[in-house]
A and B are shown apart, each in its own frame.
Chain A
Amino acid sequence: MAETPTAARWSIRVVVLGYLLVLLVLPLALVVRRTFAHGISPVFDALTTSAAAHAFQITATVAGVAVVANTIFGVGVALLLVRHRFPGRRLLDAVIDLPVAVSPVVVGLALTLIYGSREPIGGWLTRNGLQIIFSLPGMVLATIFVGMPLVVRAVAPVLEEIGDEQEQAAYTLGASAWQTFRRITLPSIRGALAYGVVLALARSLGEYGAVAVVSGRIVGQTQTITLFVEERFDNFDQSAAYSAAFALAVVAVLSLVIARRIRPAGGTA
């Protein structure tokens, strides 16, 4: 656009860029500088210790399971909200956004209240050999909860936009509900779904608060990479803390780049 920048426009730009610089770019740049203050080899060493490697593995497992669960659940809920009319639909629509509003710490505490080994449900599960709190299942549950709305909110508007005529046409041509979903609905929402999945993945990898409460932060057992960063930092092992933080930031930025590339192709608004 060929606009002549006026003084007002320039000052808005300076304020916005300055704001982003101070809050976003500068801290990230400092993390990078601090990480590589002594070259690459200390970073490599810090990230390949058994504690770090284990933390990466835990994060990958927890985030992986949570993203798969949220993808299936998210598409299902989006279909339910857009394609069906039932009592309580508006309530469900509102509840889906709850994880965005509620602090993850509260989520962690709530899960502990249900599944803690001294609570009725958690106690029963523990006696039957399934420990939720201070163990992987609880961490997965917490991560699922915080990432819940992302796939739903990415997919639902696209479902709304494409309407249900193509699906009805498929029915009249003999396609079952599953065939219609696989061959008509899924290809139509592919772009939006991929965008939602990437966002959910980024959110799951970076989750701290809820996981911190339910994991018990047991080093070498239930420590995710975010918990690892915090623990190393508290123990004055700045090299490990900054190296892991840098790795997390790289994954996050990559996710955003992928998400941005998917979004226009998916044609979602």
Chain B
Amino acid sequence: MSIIARNVTKRFGAFTALDDVTIEVATGSLTALLGPSGSGKSTLLRVIAGLDTPDTGTVEIGGSDATRLPPQRRDVGFVFQHYAPFKHMTVARNVAFGLSIRKRPKAEIRGRVQELLELVHLEKFADRYPAQLSGGQRQRMALARALAVEPRVLLLDEPFGALDAQVRKELRIWLRRLHDDLHVTTVIVTHDQEEAMEVADEVVVMSDGTVAQVGAPQDIYDNPVNDWVMTFLGPVTNLKGALIRPHDLVLSADSTAESIPATVVGVTRLGFETRIALTYEGQELWAQVTSEVADQLGLAPGSTVYVRHRGPVMQVTS
């Protein structure tokens, strides 16, 4: 089911969380709302779910106007940042909640819960309480609970925000695979650009309650609309007053027509990648090269290296 939020504005007192935002989410896609905290991404998700009411603007789900519908009747699955587990219920009863509200037959509920617990690899934990689960397990339980009622759209609010880095990476890959199997229209809110690039088909970059850019992950990374988006999406360094990705700086031992001589200040090896801190005419910049290249060049503090660039360059405007 497609989702369209049109000209949505939402204020909390004097704070404008969403300022005339319009987005479209295609049926069956996995879209990330990406932005720093306070950019309005979570508010937009809550407006789509019906948990917050927009001051102006409309929300369409599956082609029909849902602006005035309460959350109960929007047919959305929502996963909260802190999972919101029902603490007094077992894992199985948490997952069964939406079905038992819909008064489905007991046998059907039992079968469906079993199916979902297998899907999220929690079949051995059916009789445990949420307090007895790890963060990652609670997250998967919340996902199974949201999926149980076969929602038209799945909304995830910073679903991996409270997990440690390793679990987070695993769950990301798992979520992407799950989406490829189920094809349910999914919107995920995140402040982590790597997460958005890795899982999403389409990324909506938000800042200060507005949409800064929309596009495929690689596309917005390669063609950011302004220096703010470029800086937010990945590492940048400053070369002669322009922003450039540090991996787009090419280092060589020999001078060419378009290269500039720079002095090596420091060399930091990070396994596969090596970061080179440089100065050029008193300006600091840094380059990202493979450790193999760094070894071939024999870079050491104090040595001179010739630098040229490829890829997009962004003149600093603000």
- List chain A positions with a Cβ less than 8 A from chain B: 162, 165-166, 168-176, 179, 183-184, 187-188
Contacts and interface: CB of A to CB of B under 8 A. Distances in A.
A176 B98 CA distance: 11
A174 B149 contact: yes
Given A162-B87, A173-B98, A175-B101, 17 more contacts: A166-B84, A166-B85, A168-B78, A168-B84, A169-B78, A169-B84, A169-B86, A171-B51, A171-B70, A172-B51, A172-B72, A172-B76, A172-B77, A172-B78, A174-B98, A175-B72, A183-B97
Contacts of B84: 165-166, 168-169
Interface in B118-170: 142, 145-146, 148-149
Contacts of B142: 169
Nearest to A167: B84
Contacts of A166: 84-87
B113 interface: no
Interface in B210-269: none
Contacts of A173: 97-98, 101, 145-146, 148-149
Nearest to A165: B84
B101 A172 contact: no
B82 interface: yes
Contacts of B38: none
Contacts of B49: 172
Interface residues of B, number: 27
Contacts of A168: 51, 71, 78, 80, 84
A170 B97 contact: yes
Contacts of A169: 78, 80, 84, 86, 142, 145
A125 to B, nearest CB: 41
A175 B96 CA distance: 12
A169 B142 CA distance: 9
Nearest to A166: B84
A23 to B, nearest CB: 41
A175 B72 CA distance: 6
A195 B101 CA distance: 29
A184 B86 contact: yes
Interface string B66-80: 000011111011101
A126 to B, nearest CB: 46
B308 to A, nearest CB: 53
B87 A188 contact: yes
A165 B88 contact: no
A63 B146 CA distance: 45
Contacts of A165: 80, 82, 84
B310 interface: no
Nearest to A170: B97
A241 B87 CA distance: 49
B88 A188 contact: yes
Nearest to B76: A172
Nearest to A184: B86
Nearest to B74: A172
B248 to A, nearest CB: 43
14 contacts: A162-B87, A168-B51, A168-B78, A169-B80, A170-B97, A171-B71, A172-B71, A172-B72, A172-B76, A172-B78, A173-B98, A173-B146, A174-B101, A176-B72
A166 B130 CA distance: 13
Nearest to A188: B88
Contacts of B71: 168, 171-172
A162 to B, nearest CB: 8
Contacts of B73: 174
Contacts of B70: 171
A169 B148 CA distance: 13
Nearest to B49: A172
Contacts of B80: 165, 168-169
B141 to A, nearest CB: 11
B198 to A, nearest CB: 26
B82 A179 contact: no
4 closest A-B pairs by CB: A173-B98, A165-B84, A169-B84, A172-B78
Contacts of B102: 174
Contacts of A183: 97
B72 A171 contact: yes
A188 B84 CA distance: 13
A242 B73 CA distance: 63
Contacts of A188: 87-88
A176 B80 CA distance: 19
A157 to B, nearest CB: 17
A187 B101 contact: no
Contacts of A162: 87
